[in-house]
Homo-oligomer: A and B are copies of this chain.
Amino acid sequence: MTAAQTPRRGPRERMVFGAAQLIRRDGVASTGMREVAAYAQAPRGSLQHYFPGGKEQLVNEAVGWAGSYAGNRIDRFLAALPTPTPGGLFAEMVRQWTDEYETAGFAGGCPVAAATVDCAESTASTREAVAAAFRTWNGSVARALADMGVPEERAGVLATLMIGALEGAILIARAERDVRALTNVSRELGPLLDGAVHKSGD
């Protein structure tokens, strides 16, 4: 999961990836450009070369990367599920985090959430990047739900519920250093989500 473990990518992509990693751990403001370069094992001089827009551009790209990653992840979860159900998908989304927290500790949260908290009011372009990331993510989840038989108009709403509940649970889990909030939310929401399937006549 660290940048050093994926040296195959070019330095530019490593820096975007590394920025996302550092942001989700320390927040946007506490993540320095020099730190990103060092973490990505990239030369400091490359920062201004690849990101002439400065930190703002780097952060926005990191957020965009995180949004795409989350979206793609949904498709992979779907493919891995033997019999896809909304609750099963949500359980997989949650499990990604419980797995990380149990094996790697509670160091990091969601980079999109971090960027929202730190930049929503101060940096307009980053706020838009965050909104776009949530949109991408939400779109993937909604599409997955629709494929499972959830009516179109409810798929988007439930996708937002899933993402929101997950983000909140991540927050609480990190604060408490306990995955309890994550497992709770998965168990409680599972039946509700499954109940939304195929009830078009509701």
Contacts and interface: CB of A to CB of B under 8 A. Distances in A.
B184 A118 contact: no
B184 A172 contact: no
A99 interface: no
Contact of A160 (B120, B130, B163, B172): B172
Number of copies: 2
A197 interface: no
A185 B160 contact: yes
Interface string A58-76: 0000000000000000000
Nearest to A122: B26
Contacts of A165: 161, 164-165, 168, 185
A130 to B, nearest CB: 4
Contacts of A161: 165, 184-185, 188-189
Contact of A171 (B27, B113, B174, B176): B113
